[in-house]
Amino acid sequence: MSYITGVGLTPYGKHPGRSTLDLMSEAATAALADAQLERRDVDGLLCGYSTTYPHLMLSTVFAEHYGLTPTYAHAMLLGGATGFGMVMLAHHLAEAGVARNILVVAGENRLTGQGRDSAVQALAQVGSPVYEVPLGPIIPAYYGLVASRYMFEFGTTEEDLAELAVLMRRHASMHPGAQFKDRISVADVLASKPIASPLKLLDCCPVSDGGVAFVISRDRTNDFGVRIIGTGQAHTHQHVTAAPSLTQFGAAASAALAQSAAGTNLQDLRYLAIYDSFTITLTILLEELGLAPRGQAGQRAREGYFNQDGELPLNTHGGLLSYGHCGAGGAMAHLVETHLQMTGRAGPRQVRDAAVALLHGDGGVLSSHVSLVLEAVR
Amino acid sequence: MMSTRMEVLDWTRGEEGIAYQTCPACAGLWYFLRTFCPCCGRQNPESRQSGGTGTVHAVTLVTRAPGDELRPYAPYLIALVDADEGFRLMAHGDKNLQIGDRVRARFATLAGRLMPYFERIAEQ
């Protein structure tokens, strides 16, 4: 049993002059305050990585900086899946009695802390240094390859992909912390600058500065009742060249493990928080997870299925595509929003019912999958 | 096809050829060079030379190059090609390549690096 007892999130976008440790600290302070805990209550620390502050021991660097002396510390590197990977680990650490209150934190000045080319090149290193990177792909190119095949197999169109960018922007327009809040249309997405076909600028998440943290505890520390009831992972490959398929990834297997542990199924879900680094990522994950039939995620979005007042509200903060993406912390904002929804604190974005939520993250090129099932309890 | 490692040309070492590996024990077949079979673990797999023909599995036209070196070549097409021997590789290719096209590799030098470059095989 474990509870998410507090969450903290900075706006994503530009934080000029703020370092990785600054952004992690700000988020950690917000999360501890939310959990009604002090630094001395934290006995477990999990943190992500930072491309602007690569360090062998980021967890203890942060512990020293922030003033923590945990009895368990660990920095995780699992690309975009890091945030939910840390949640899964924290859940098991709490259940095993290794730690009582685990601070999970990530942050990075990825946007203002380095040049544009440095960011693009650092990220492209998830590719094979021998067989892929020398060919000059960028992250969107790996996903562009996947998109071309997926669209070929299932008839998804560029308009279908664009619907998901439009949806994420509409949601972000209601969150003051989102990096991009101006509404966009399908035509805007289609007319945006080509990056790596079929993906255009507005099919791609931005690079952001930001920090995010939560506290995962063995026992409740306040009135919030958000429980982690199932977790799962699946890892099928690292490099897109070595992927066993460009239409079947590890998402379904990972979610099946989480749902099985939780004792839930698709019909129980009321809220979705799904990784959306690109419109094709969100399309594939929604469809592989069974949340839309193959080839129909865009149509479902167009029909309002994933709206705040739709059948299954999705990423009501705007997702990576519009709230922003600061690396290890990127998808952790999805969990913060889920927590706000489950505790009735989402303000104008509040959904009717978020009693059970499925969260899914992926890292690499749909390589590493982590799924979480959360439940709101009284 | 019982070539030894030394005779097999490999573009990743600057040679005009595409190498792959097979396992004599389990018939596993793969692209990324290893000293063991990733399927059964047997040591000393065989390295083989691909004939350089295959079928396009996926394509993307890259407009945004990752840095100054490749920027003059953009937009360029990157493809995943299913080689006829049964492995998949990433390579450059003609901008008009489409999924399902039958292709043959030549070798091109971009930004000082040799790499496989696929062209559509002309219809008979």
Q: For chain A, 378 residues long, give each residue's pLDDT as a single digit of tens.
A: 899 999 999 999 999 999 999 999 999 999 999 999 999 999 999 999 999 999 999 999 999 999 999 999 999 999 999 999 999 999 999 999 999 999 999 999 999 998 877 877 777 778 999 999 999 999 999 999 999 999 999 999 999 999 999 999 999 999 999 999 999 999 999 999 999 999 999 999 999 999 999 999 999 999 999 999 999 999 999 999 999 999 999 999 999 999 999 999 999 999 999 999 999 999 999 999 999 999 999 999 999 999 999 999 999 999 999 999 999 999 999 999 999 999 999 999 999 999 999 999 999 999 999 999 999 998
* Average pLDDT for B80-90: 98
Distance of CA B34 to the CA centre of its chain: 16
Can you give the pLDDT at residue B3?
47
Is A195's CB within 8 Å of B65's CB?
A: no
| The amino acid at B26 | C
How would DSSP label each residue in A199-217?
A: EEGGGBPPP-EEEEEEEEE
Whether residue A331 lies inside any domain: the answer is no
User: Alpha-carbon torsion B10, B11, B12, B14, what sign?
Assistant: positive
* Average pLDDT for B103-113: 95
DSSP three-state, residue A25: helix
Can you give the pLDDT at residue A149?
98
Of A130, A137, A148, the CB nearest to B62: A137
Is A194 an interface residue toward B (CB < 8 Å)?
yes
Work out how many CB contacts closer than 8 A connect A with B. 106
CATH of the domain at A212: 3.40.47.10
ipTM exceeding 0.85, yes/no:
yes
Minimal-distance CA residue of chain B relative to A143: B60
Is residue B1 very low, low, confident or very high in pLDDT (cuts 50, 70, 90)? very low
Q: How many domains does chain A have?
A: 1
Is residue B122 very low, low, confident or very high in pLDDT (cuts 50, 70, 90)? confident
Is A138's CB within 8 Å of B92's CB?
A: no
Q: Enumerate the β-bridge partners of residue B22.
A: B29, B46
- How far is it, in rounded angstroms, from Cα A200 to Cα A352? 34
* Average pLDDT for B84-97: 98
- What does the pLDDT look like over B59-73, one tens digit per residue? 999 999 888 889 999
Is A141's CB within 8 Å of B62's CB?
A: yes
Of A138, A144, A242, the CB nearest to B66: A138
Is residue B124 very low, low, confident or very high in pLDDT (cuts 50, 70, 90)? low
Of A124, A146, A242, the CB nearest to B58: A146
Is A27 an interface residue toward B (CB < 8 Å)?
no
Can you give the pLDDT at residue A185?
98
* Average pLDDT for B19-43: 96
Beta-carbon contacts of B124 under 8 Å, excluding residues fewer than 6 positions away, are none
Of A134, A148, A242, the CB nearest to B59: A148
Structural domain that includes position A67: 2-113+208-217
Is B67's CB within 8 Å of A145's CB?
A: no
Whether residue A334 lies inside any domain: the answer is no
Is A124 an interface residue toward B (CB < 8 Å)?
yes
Minimal-distance CA residue of chain A relative to B31: A242
Q: Enumerate the β-bridge partners of residue A75.
A: A47
Is B92's CB within 8 Å of A134's CB?
A: no
Whether residue A176 lies inside any domain: the answer is no
Q: pTM for the complete prediction?
A: 0.96
Peptide bond connecting A54 to the previous residue in cis, omega within 30 degrees of 0? no
Q: Tell me which of B55, B64, B69 to substitute to probe the interface with A (most A C-beta atoms closer than 10 Å).
A: B64
Is residue B6 very low, low, confident or very high in pLDDT (cuts 50, 70, 90)? low
Is A135's CB within 8 Å of B90's CB?
A: yes
Whether residue A305 lies inside any domain: the answer is no
